[in-house]
Amino acid sequence: MATIEEFNLKLKDQQRPLVVDFWAPWCMPCRAMEPTLKRVEQQYEGTVDVWRVNADEAPEVMKALKIYGIPTTAAYRDGQEVARRTGALPQAELEGLFEAALTGEKPLRKGLSANERILRLVAGLLLVAFGWAAGPSWVLLALGGVIIFSGVYDRCPLWQAVAPRVAKLFQGASQ
């Protein structure tokens, strides 16, 4: 699928709902998302097909579909794109894309709204500024840093790669 014509022809012939993963071998967020994508792909095996399009091998497709960042994951139903997300996605959002491909309805956005994100960032920055002005107060600086991180953690590929492993450690310790 190096050309947009090949992509569209294959898409037209597609019988089942489809999720397309646009990736590149050098892309670390793509690599971080791969195991989760494979798990979700297995959940929907037989109902939703998955294509992987290497961005380096299909620049014409990327340009024609206006994909400017990778990883980008798109859901298609009846040859039409119904949803698209860019960035390394957690399992719940990937499942939402697979469901969108099945139903044809846009998935609900999970996570923080833009207003919540801005509020956390501003509050964190104010705490950091106050902590710095107070001498510096390491407690206020740390608290401000935690609040800032809480506003962006869901977009951090490193956090998305580490969080499931940490959760497994705590699950194992509690049993």
* Residue from 27, 65, 97, 148 carrying the catalytic annotation: 27
Q: Please state, in angstroms and rounded to a whole number, the distance separating the CA atoms of residues 144 and 28.
A: 28
Quickly list H helices, the chain.
4-13, 28-43, 59-64, 91-103, 114-133, 138-152, 157-174
* Residue from 19, 30, 62, 65 carrying the catalytic annotation: 30
Q: Is 30 a catalytic residue?
A: yes
86 has which bridge partners? 72
Q: Please state, in angstroms and rounded to a whole number, the distance separating the CA atoms of residues 87 and 55.
A: 14
Q: Please state, in angstroms and rounded to a whole number, the distance separating the CA atoms of residues 168 and 175.
A: 11
Q: Please state, in angstroms and rounded to a whole number, the distance separating the CA atoms of residues 62 and 31.
A: 19
Q: Is 27 a catalytic residue?
A: yes
Q: Specify the length of the chain in residues.
A: 175
Catalytic residue list: 27, 30
